[in-house]
Structure 1
Amino acid sequence: MADPKDSATASSNHDHSHGGIFGERSELIFAILSGAFLAAGFAVDILAENAAEWLPLAGYLAAYFFGGFYTLKEAIDNARARTFKIDSLMLVAATGAAILGEFAEGALLLFLFSIGHALENFAMGRAKRAIDALAELAPDTATVLRGDAQVTVPVEELKVGDTVLVRPNERLPADGFIVVGESAINQAPVTGESIPVDKRPVPDAAIARQSIAAISSSSRAFAGTINGSGALRIEVTKKANDSTLSKVAELVAAAETERSPTQRMTDKFERIFVPLVLALAVLLLFAPLVIDETFGESFYRSMAVLVAASPCALAIATPSAVLSGVARAARGGVLIKGGAALEDLGTLKAMAFDKTGTLTEGEPRVTEVIPTDGADETELLSVAVAVERLSDHPLAQAVVRDGVDRLGDTDIPEASDLKSLTGRGVTARLGDEAVWIGKAEMFGVDGTAPLSDASAEAISALRQQGRTTMVVRRGQRDLGVIGMMDTAREGAREALAELRALGIERMLMISGDHANVAAAIGKEVGLDEARGDLMPQDKVDTIDALSRKAKVAMVGDGVNDAPAMAKATVGIAMGAAGSDVALETADVALMADDLRHLPFVVGLSRKSRSIIRQNVYVSLGVVAILVPATILGLGIGPAVIMHEGSTLLVVFNALRLLGYRDV
């Protein structure tokens, strides 16, 4: 049952996708032929009393050939890899039955074993096809603009810097950024987002080429995603084999070989159990010395025990569940890097979050506008926008963006002579008056008049709420105070509530921002605790302390939080699509920049752990029943039916994960 090409994985890989004269279905067809010849031999033996004696034997021997062909092939490959696996045990049992003249039972054993493996291969193929389908999402060809001409080329020939044309409803051929056109792109194949995402061109293609990582998500494009109704021109930033989609497909496929804790435990069990089974089978050969039976009867019982005790279902119980769970997660826009991460996710009791870009949008927003000294909100915002649109500072850009939204159709005056006071604010001219905008600390020094009492009170109140503040003064009047904050993500509070319902008992924020800012966001999203003013080492120490009490996950961006993520039981990266660093460093990567995928993957991992436990219990339970039953006289036929039945049961039970839905 193992893949002999790699002795390191031979003990757990149940790959039966053998080639042959009938292609990939050869093993299934051989198993069916084995059953047909077995049925023919049995029919002749029972119904045709006057038939030649060799006719039923010929049917049984043909059943031996077709049922044992791939079993023997794999046993030989296992022997070359110096492993003695379940296939070998079955061959020994079938050979023993033939020696005893029980050709019908031996043929039945090989038929059931081969048909069971063929069906198992078919079922496991469903999970593998779900993974393989990822790599097939990108189109085979792309339309490249060469001057004024449109040239169709294989995607493998695309180069960084090429401009590709994507027509409405076509799949995107490569990762890149949009240079012309607007459309809504269905990114579900990569990020799992259920709603198409509006896309627009980058403001400056030259700047985008210099800093690809800084390109806005609204201008990024990924291979394999589906264009909406607008035609797009996309500049390629990665070759086909380096695209986010291809990396995800590679990492998901590699996750199969990552062994989970349960799988490591069952491997140890098998290494001890299989030799004990062989010793028991040999010991049973000496039964005639102590009980009244023939050697043939003892030999038959010994072969039946070999069949009954073969831990086939146990060997496939965990890998099948891991494969299905990882495939389902990938289809939902979450990359889980192996069985260990899948199982660990299901045991989490605590979760720590970074603030900026994880629980928050990562962009400051105007949250309060407080006019003072007789001004109104329109006057305050008009002056602020007029001055700040001359600046390229992130806070200034946020004031302009949100201020324009609040002002609507209000005319905004023209400011001039902007001067930056580093670390404090800016000054400018509006008409014949001076304007100051900045921190409270820039007022009352260097000849600048102090703040009015109303402005000072507003600043104090907003800072206690964790707001970043700026005062707007025109001439001799304080027009008011603007409060700003990196606001919580949409759906963050609901996502954390779902996590709590799933059994996450403690959730906290660990942030380098001011403690008041952290506390404000923590209260808004419903965290148990928010810790601010933390250096990177403080975050690591916090995770270390938490992990001593319970299994803990660290959720961050996969770059700045890498040390803390590495220290946690599970490191979870947000918004990993397009980020090679996040894909490589995290144990779990949420491809979309959406916290609402977190409850989905935690729920999936808990379901996966449940199914793994069910499979292990079924596997061990069947062995526990069959071994004493065969010792007491149960035949090879019933034993192999239960044996193969349990193997198929655990595989199909694992496949239920492919249909998991986030409720």
Structure 2
Amino acid sequence: MQKTEQETKACCSTGHNESESSITHTSDHAGELKTYRVTGMDCPSCAMTLEKGLSKTNGIQSVKVNYASGKMAVGAESDDMYDAIPGYVKKYGFEAVPEKPVNDSHVYNVTGMDCSSCAATLEKHLSGNPDVQSVRVNFSTGKMHIAHTLTADQVVKEVQKSGFDATPATLRNQKKEDQKAERKLPVTTISGILLALGFLGSFTAIPEWLVTAFYAAAIVIGGYKPARSAFYAVKSRSLDMNVLMVTAAIGAAIIGEWFEGATVVWLFALGNALQNRSIERTRDSIRSLINLTPSEAVIKTADGPVKKDVEDITVHEIMIVKPGEKIPLDGEIVAGMSSLNQAPITGESLPVDKEPGDKVYAGTVNESGSLEVKVTRLSEDTTIARIIHLVEEAQEKKAPTQAFIDRFAAVYTPIVFILALLIMIVPPLAGFGAWGEWFYRGLTLLVVACPCALVISTPVAIVSAIGNAARNGVLIKGGTFLEKAGAISAIAFDKTGTLTEGKPKVTQVIALQDDSDALVSIAKTIEEHSTHPIAQAVISYANERNISSQAGSQFSAIAGKGATAVIDGTEYFAGKPKLFSEMGISTAGIDERIDVMQSEGNTLVAVGTRDRILGLIAVADTVRDITVRSIEKLKQSGIGEMVMLTGDNEGTAKKMAAETGVTRYFAELMPEDKVTAVKKLQNEGKQVAMVGDGINDAPALATADLGIAMGGAGTDTAMETADIVLMADNLEKLPHTIRLSRNAIKIIKQNIWFSLITKLAALVLIFPGVLTLWMAVLSDTGAALIVILNSMRLLRQK
């Protein structure tokens, strides 16, 4: 059942009561609850009167009236009865109108916006529509989120009334839009040519009226779109750059400054064209991800291979993927072995070997063998589709800096606008110069009144940085977390599975009697029937060295201590050294060696018979090679403290810290103690990031200033809960993320200062009459363009 408006609002408020929420539920009776807006109720007792009265009416099965929300939910026997409800309500002195079901928030791509104030104009226009419950437009991403009771066509028409175009933002639509090159009339070029003709004509003998006609034509052609946008902005009671620019151009024409007016319009159009082209490049950072997945797949059927659109493929169908092809949908390999390039998803630089039973992701490239893959997710649910969705959401979330700038701009623009009007009127009234002179200065100040460069300084940098991170296998959940990552001074790592492989491996074999291969062969024979991680480590070690097992019998597990088997009539044991001590076998000769190996973090498997110990096999969790390199790079990035959190004993933790290169460690921690360790670092005045697997470390991730989860490609929980997600199951991209975040903060600061200084310089130069109209336009659009180009450097960071 679709949500009512009340449900939609309740998502943003915790203040709704039980009776409010109850009106949206399906009736226990035959009919579905239908909601009505009720007007005319003066107090809660009116709601009670109406509820009691209607509940006694034949044909009405249930009724619930909520005074606070002005809503009434009715369950009736038939559609005719639902139609008659307003009539019954009227008898009690109230008015009831059936409420249309609210569509959940839909996303549209909006084209034609020149600046962030265009987004505000569109928001204001749509907010005034009674059929629109909520709307949010983001200029940087070109996306509009809208909850409404309209059809898609009606939404598009409403957007067009504001001077823009919109299309539903589905992946299929997005791909079609990217494939077609939109051809537009080069109005900027035509306006520029007419401006040049007028300027050159002013130095020749052609009539002055013709020169003026060239300038007027340049203004009309180049200014048509800004004028159209200005009209809708005024209609929506919005004061944007288009309004200010058009006012300045018309004002220049009124006082006879046709060249100034034409120059203003052309520079504004040129600046917007360049800005839009640059902004499109930042949006392409996500569109490139959309186009990674093929639109068709070859499906295995009883009649042979068949090509199908990915949107038409269902779960459990079998895809055939040949070498060199991209995986069309997420799935599981059922036949074949290959190496897959997973860089588009995880950012990993090296291909990953895959075999039957392994997961594969849409958009990854099959590099060698042919594969048969069982589809596990539909096209809209694939890992890459969810990445795109999360990234677009992240790009639209305002960072603290952006929120502050927006509040500043909202105050700055009307103040400067009023100041411009005062400059036009007060000085000439006071006798300080001619009307024309101060009118011109007022027009120039109008152009300076819109802080375009300042408003766009932060969001474009955030879009660029988050887009870069996504292409490199890192999900940053929003501008807030991007800024936090740049301010981090300490990183706490969970040890197991983060700094280490998370899978024990054999690190040493000590044979006391026979050779080491014979010892491993006996151990493998005993452990082959066990699924314990340590047993699996021994078996993997033997398999890697082609050491075969022997013929055994009477296999048995000894709970918590080890296992036993009979080989060639002799009973052999593999387990903790304590197992042999309990059987009365002396370990006097090897006690010191056992203590040393255990203090270094090894788990020991002793192998022997009832009479003697034949040898020891040391098993330990090993440090990833990539971990050491990543920590070294993080140190080079300026992170002051690298901390390891582990449940291991002091000796093991010390050895592991030395191997990984961390600067500090907390040992013998219970899971809840990790939270205490993070708080301790915070109390020392550090901004702390916690890196874990996103599930077991959830409390510590939540406590830290920044939660970073690893292995997001295989973990839905990590993708949904962490602030930053490393899609690969290693730390390879963490140094890049920290550097990218710091560069983003640096560029945002550069943009803000540049915008403020440019605007201040323009304001100062107006009063002595140095700043002309065209210079004011150039300073505004030029500054915006420079800010955008500066932000785009983040897209290219390697």
Identify whether the pair has TM-score above 0.5, normalized to the shorter chain: yes
Aligned to 1:39: 196
CA distance in 1, matches of 2:597, 2:246: 78
- Alpha-carbon deviation of 1:513? 4.3
Aligned to 2:159: none
Q: Alignment partner for residue 358 of structure 1, among 467, 479, 498? A: 498
- Alpha-carbon deviation of 1:579? 2.1
Report the CA distance shift for 1:154/1:116 in structure 2 as closer, same or farther (over 3 A). Answer: same
CA distance in 2, matches of 1:499, 1:230: 37
Aligned residues: 636
CA distance in 2, matches of 1:50, 1:30: 25
Report the CA distance shift for 1:103/1:121 in structure 2 as closer, same or farther (over 3 A). Answer: same
Q: Which amino acid aligns with 1:483?
A: A
Aligned to 2:47: none
- Alpha-carbon deviation of 1:232? 0.7
Q: Alignment partner for residue 605 of structure 1, among 696, 721, 741? A: 741
Q: Alignment partner for residue 243 of structure 2, among 88, 96, 100? A: 88
Report the CA distance shift for 1:656/1:222 in structure 2 as closer, same or farther (over 3 A). Answer: same
Aligned to 2:319: 164
Aligned to 1:486: 621
Q: Deviations over 1:387-430 (max 9, x none)?
A: 11121222101111113334x4x553222222112222112212
Aligned to 2:450: 310
Q: Does residue 1:541 correspond to 2:680, yes or no?
A: no
Q: Alignment partner for residue 256 of structure 2, among 93, 101, 105? A: 101
CA distance in 1, matches of 2:511, 2:185: 79
Q: Deviations over 1:534-587 (max 9, x none)?
A: 233322232233234121111111122222222222211112113221111122
* Maintained 8 Å contact 2:140/2:463: no
Aligned to 2:378: 239
CA distance in 1, matches of 2:677, 2:765: 54
Q: Alignment partner for residue 273 of structure 1, among 412, 421, 429? A: 412
Q: Does residue 1:660 correspond to 2:797, yes or no?
A: yes
Q: Does residue 1:181 correspond to 2:336, yes or no?
A: yes
Report the CA distance shift for 1:557/1:28 in structure 2 as closer, same or farther (over 3 A). Answer: farther
Aligned to 1:460: 595
* Maintained 8 Å contact 1:38/1:108: yes
Q: Alignment partner for residue 258 of structure 1, among 397, 411, 429? A: 397
* Maintained 8 Å contact 1:18/1:27: no
CA distance in 2, matches of 1:13, 1:471: 63
CA distance in 2, matches of 1:569, 1:258: 18
CA distance in 2, matches of 1:27, 1:531: 63
* Maintained 8 Å contact 1:19/1:25: no
Report the CA distance shift for 1:259/1:278 in structure 2 as closer, same or farther (over 3 A). Answer: same
Q: Does residue 1:49 correspond to 2:205, yes or no?
A: yes
* Maintained 8 Å contact 1:466/1:519: no
Aligned to 2:278: 123
- Alpha-carbon deviation of 1:156? 0.8
CA distance in 1, matches of 2:138, 2:340: 44
Higher mean C-alpha deviation, range 83-92 or range 577-586: 83-92
* Maintained 8 Å contact 2:526/2:573: no
* Maintained 8 Å contact 1:28/1:119: no
Higher mean C-alpha deviation, range 492-501 or range 304-313: 304-313
Report the CA distance shift for 1:239/1:514 in structure 2 as closer, same or farther (over 3 A). Answer: farther
Within a 5 Å distance, the mapping from 1:166-245 to structure 2 comes to 166-202=321-357, 219-245=358-384
- Alpha-carbon deviation of 1:505? 0.4
* Maintained 8 Å contact 1:355/1:518: no
Q: Which amino acid aligns with 2:472?
A: G
CA distance in 2, matches of 1:24, 1:547: 52
Q: Alignment partner for residue 6 of structure 1, among 123, 140, 156? A: 123
* Maintained 8 Å contact 1:346/1:603: yes
- Alpha-carbon deviation of 1:187? 1.3
- Alpha-carbon deviation of 1:80? 5.1
Aligned to 2:266: 111
Q: Secondary structure at the match of 2:374?
A: strand
Q: Secondary structure at the match of 1:475?
A: coil
Q: Secondary structure at the match of 1:629?
A: helix
Aligned to 1:211: none
5+ long unaligned stretches in structure 1: 203-218
Structure 1 runs of 4+ with >6 Å offset: none
CA distance in 2, matches of 1:111, 1:305: 18
* Maintained 8 Å contact 1:455/1:481: no
Aligned to 1:566: 702
Aligned to 1:61: 216
CA distance in 2, matches of 1:62, 1:536: 73
Aligned to 1:449: 584
- Alpha-carbon deviation of 1:283? 2.5
CA distance in 2, matches of 1:148, 1:478: 62
User: Taking structure 1 as the reference length, what is the TM-score of the superposition?
Assistant: 0.91
- Alpha-carbon deviation of 1:84? 2.0
Aligned to 1:329: 469
Q: Which amino acid aligns with 1:602?
A: I
* Maintained 8 Å contact 1:507/1:529: yes
CA distance in 1, matches of 2:240, 2:530: 71
Q: Deviations over 1:22-58 (max 9, x none)?
A: x9867772222222222233333x044342x442333
Aligned to 2:388: 249
5+ long unaligned stretches in structure 2: 1-114, 125-134, 144-162, 167-179
- Once the two structures are aligned, what percentage of the paired residues are identical? 39
Q: Which amino acid aligns with 2:628?
A: R
Report the CA distance shift for 1:272/1:11 in structure 2 as closer, same or farther (over 3 A). Answer: farther
CA distance in 1, matches of 2:487, 2:731: 19
- Alpha-carbon deviation of 1:298? 0.7
Compute the RMSD of aligned alpha carbons: 2.3
Q: Secondary structure at the match of 1:443?
A: helix
Q: Deviations over 1:295-318 (max 9, x none)?
A: 121111011112234211111111
Higher mean C-alpha deviation, range 238-247 or range 521-530: 521-530
Higher mean C-alpha deviation, range 375-384 or range 121-130: 375-384
- Alpha-carbon deviation of 1:60? 2.3
CA distance in 1, matches of 2:431, 2:406: 35
* Bigger relative contact order (CA 8 A; separation at least 6): 1
Q: Does residue 1:287 correspond to 2:424, yes or no?
A: no
* Maintained 8 Å contact 2:140/2:279: no
